[in-house]
Amino acid sequence: MLNLLFSKRFSLVKTFSASFLAFAFIIRLTLYVWSFSEIDFSFINLIKIFGMGFLFDLGSLSYMMALFSIYLLLVPKQFYGCAVDKFITKFSYALMLFLMLFSFLAEIAFWEEYGKRFNFIAVDYLLYTYEVVQNIRQSFHLEIVIAILIVITYFSIKIAKRKDAFKDAFNNSDSFLMKIIPAFFWIFVLSSFHFNVENSDAEVFANQYENEISKSGIYSFFAAFDENELNYNDFYETNPSDNSYQIVRNLLASDNDLLNKNPNSIKRQVFNSGEEQKPNVIFIGLESLSAQFMQRFGNEKNLVPAIDSLAKESIFFTNLQATGTRTIRGIEAIVLSIPPTPGQSIVKRENNDNLFTIGEVFKQKGYTRTFFYGGDGHFDNMNIFFGNNGFNIVDRKNKLRINEVFPVQRTQITDDEVTFENAWGVCDGDLYDKVLKEADAQHKLKKPFFNFVMTSSNHKPYTYPDGIVNIPSEKNREGALKYTDWAFRKFFEEAKTKPWFKNTVFVIMADHAAYSAGRTEIDVKNYHIPAFIYNLKNKNPEEINKLSSQIDIFPTLFGYLNWSYESNLFGKDITKMQKKDERALIANQLKLGLLKEDYVLILDNHKKHTFYQWNKENNELTVKKTDPQFLKESISYYQTAFNLFKNGGLKLPKKSFITPNKLANKAN
């Protein structure tokens, strides 16, 4: 039977298949051993993981082998071994071998960073080759990686030659009929796998590490293309649309709000009493700064003393949660004040211009608005998003995109302003220097300014200027945290000398926590981030321990400033929350969660949900019988957010331009 399955013409198919499955097994075993401390070990689960993994590997392999088999099937035997046949066969084999080896090695690096197989993040990174290639160069010793690839490739080809795989592929007389069985086998495997298996079918374990190890990285990568943007109504549990809107309107309503009469809208007028204050506002987004890095939450390593000290001088939100696990999810939550929609962030979606953002509230109050980023804001579509929503841009232009045109002012961080930069951009110290310089210029215009600053130094490859902190650059995250804190302290020392400082409020918050991987489908403790409002007039420092979300921080600031304003935001003023109002929206690209007190409900993209009780002390989730009202609220937040964005409900009203004819008509 094996001789029929692998005719001589298909000898390279046999050799490559054996190599692929062997390497896939080695990678899975490596990930299993690496994550053993996080796995709920049992012998039965071990068998399931590697058994299911083999099936996914075989399915992934079938995409390549079916295509190659069709070629081998259709070429007549009189052309076996001709120059064209040898070129196509050898080139195809080498290309498949390279892609296989590269993807397997890349999985190791991706697992180290995210604790997952390839997912939508890997798809995103493929679109930003400059930043990613530079990050790889700076994070890993490329000469070692290349050497490993060359050695493995060399021995793989040598083994194939030793087994006469190339010789047999060209020197045989296999007829069309002899080739049908092996070709049919791979076509059958491909069709069975493609039409009947989804990547999520591997998720049969309670432990997410086991689920991820069961998958194939290559298949997970291509599956992620289909998951970048999901229609909530097609993939998730829903309420009748009118019910969802009514539930959300009730959840958002408060004594100081006047809701729009449109039942399919969350637009409202927010009223706050007292004299309005209009200080400058600088928001600082701290890259990957988990709450667990702070002394206030039990860290004894003194990694961020300057940020720790701010806790005693600010309005400090001690129970605030990130909405997601990536910077663009943080930006989405902060700027749009919206629950995360499934799949890709709105920051990267089409039709994300002219939206109602916190910038629009600042515009209502007469502020300028500027987005600062130390790298090229082309990455993750940030420049397009901010520029098309009314923010000026200050970033480090990539020379390859120096001539990009934006509808707003774009200012470059110039070479003479840079003392250090890596793949993601200039170091935080250089970025803060640029913020200070621009704030000086903005102050002279005698107009309040709102600056949104996104840092990046606390990000792999963890490189920063030498000689500043006591951990060498590129060594580990702790060094990057110390540098991040050093730059943060230096910024405030210099800001306090500026004439605009006394009239400037600083909002500081992490974009997301540092570790997105976890044992459960949503690792609740890894969404906890710090947030501060600093330098408010006539307001004493205090800690606020209400459970809240990134989407709430700016509505809370607007309350402190006594602003009355038109709103289309999901966020609420944390200071006005009652116990029943406390909640956090936590999600990844597919799982959508609602956290209230010590309960969390998670919606998944198979129109299913799971209701848990969360033990905060050991971060364990225990399945409970679903609370129907909890389920309705969870659905309503996410269904309404998706529908509003998709149907244009977050758009600003179109401006009415007065033409000369209209002026003439008015005159008459």
Q: Which of 656, 638, 654 is nearest to 646 (CA)?
A: 638
Asked if pLDDT for residue 580 goes beyond 80, the answer is: yes
Residues 220 and 276 in one domain: no
Residues 251 and 157 in one domain: no
Mean pLDDT of 552-579: 96
Q: Is the dihedral of CA 591, 595, 598, 601 positive or negative?
A: negative
- Under the banding of pLDDT at 50, 70 and 90, the label for residue 579 is very high
Q: Which amino acid is it at 138?
A: Q
Q: Is 355 within 8 Å of 336 (Cβ atoms)?
A: yes
- Under the banding of pLDDT at 50, 70 and 90, the label for residue 369 is very high
Residues 12 and 120 in one domain: yes
Q: Do the domain assignments include residue 466?
A: yes
DSSP code at position 301: S
* Residue 136 CB contacts under 8 Å (≥ 6 apart), including other chains: 109, 142
Q: Do the domain assignments include residue 664?
A: no
pTM: 0.79
Q: Is 406 within 8 Å of 393 (Cβ atoms)?
A: yes
Adjacent-strand bridge partners of 565: 270
Residues 174 and 302 in one domain: no
Q: Do the domain assignments include residue 541?
A: yes
Q: What is the pLDDT of residue 132?
A: 56
Q: What is the pLDDT of residue 208?
A: 83
Q: Do the domain assignments include residue 666?
A: no
Q: What is the pLDDT of residue 227?
A: 62
Least confidently predicted of 503-507, 565-569, 588-592: 588-592
Residues 347 and 485 in one domain: yes
Least confidently predicted of 73-82, 280-289, 365-374, 591-600: 73-82
Q: What is the pLDDT of residue 321?
A: 98
Least confidently predicted of 136-145, 152-161, 394-403, 409-418: 136-145
Q: Do the domain assignments include residue 535?
A: yes
- Under the banding of pLDDT at 50, 70 and 90, the label for residue 585 is very high
Asked if pLDDT for residue 177 goes beyond 90, the answer is: no
Q: Is 392 within 8 Å of 368 (Cβ atoms)?
A: yes
Domain boundary among 176, 193, 226: 226
Residues 190 and 251 in one domain: no
Percent of the chain with pLDDT over 70: 90
Domain boundary among 195, 226, 257: 226
- Under the banding of pLDDT at 50, 70 and 90, the label for residue 662 is very low
Question: pLDDT of 16-46, one tens digit each?
Answer: 898 899 999 999 999 999 999 888 889 999 9
Residues 210 and 304 in one domain: no
Q: What is the pLDDT of residue 92?
A: 86
Residues 26 and 8 in one domain: yes
Question: pLDDT of 520-544, one tens digit each?
Answer: 678 899 999 999 999 999 899 999 9
Residues 193 and 270 in one domain: no
Structure tokens at 478: 């702790």
Region class of 467: left (phi > 0), else alpha (psi between -120 and 50), else beta: left
Say how many Å lie between the first and final Cα of the chain, rounded: 93
- Residue 374: helix, strand or coil by DSSP? coil
Q: Do the domain assignments include residue 216?
A: yes
Give the count of domains, the chain: 2
Asked if pLDDT for residue 126 goes beyond 50, the answer is: yes
- Under the banding of pLDDT at 50, 70 and 90, the label for residue 548 is very high
CA angle 153, 154, 156 (to 5 degrees): 65
CATH number of 464's domain = 3.40.720.10
Q: Is 345 within 8 Å of 332 (Cβ atoms)?
A: yes
**Peptide bond before 461: cis, by omega within 30 degrees of 0?**
yes
Asked if pLDDT for residue 271 goes beyond 90, the answer is: yes
Q: What is the pLDDT of residue 438?
A: 98
Structural domain including 129 reads 2-226
Q: Do the domain assignments include residue 188?
A: yes
Whole-number average pLDDT of the chain: 88
Burial tier of 564 (Cβ tally within 10 Å: 0-12, 13-18, 19+): middle
Domain boundary among 226, 246, 273: 226
**Chain centroid offset of residue 379 CA:** 12
Residues 271 and 347 in one domain: yes
Residues 174 and 323 in one domain: no
CA angle 421, 424, 428 (to 5 degrees): 55
Residues 208 and 352 in one domain: no
Asked if pLDDT for residue 656 goes beyond 70, the answer is: no
Q: Do the domain assignments include residue 661?
A: no
Burial tier of 434 (Cβ tally within 10 Å: 0-12, 13-18, 19+): buried
The torsion angle over the Cα atoms of residues 77, 81, 87 and 89, rounded to 10 degrees, is 60
- For β-strands 314-321 and 548-549, DSSP reports them as parallel
In which element (H, E) is residue 234 found?
helix 232-235
Q: What is the pLDDT of residue 436?
A: 98
CA dist 50 to 93, 301, 302, 426, 551, Å?
26, 39, 42, 44, 41
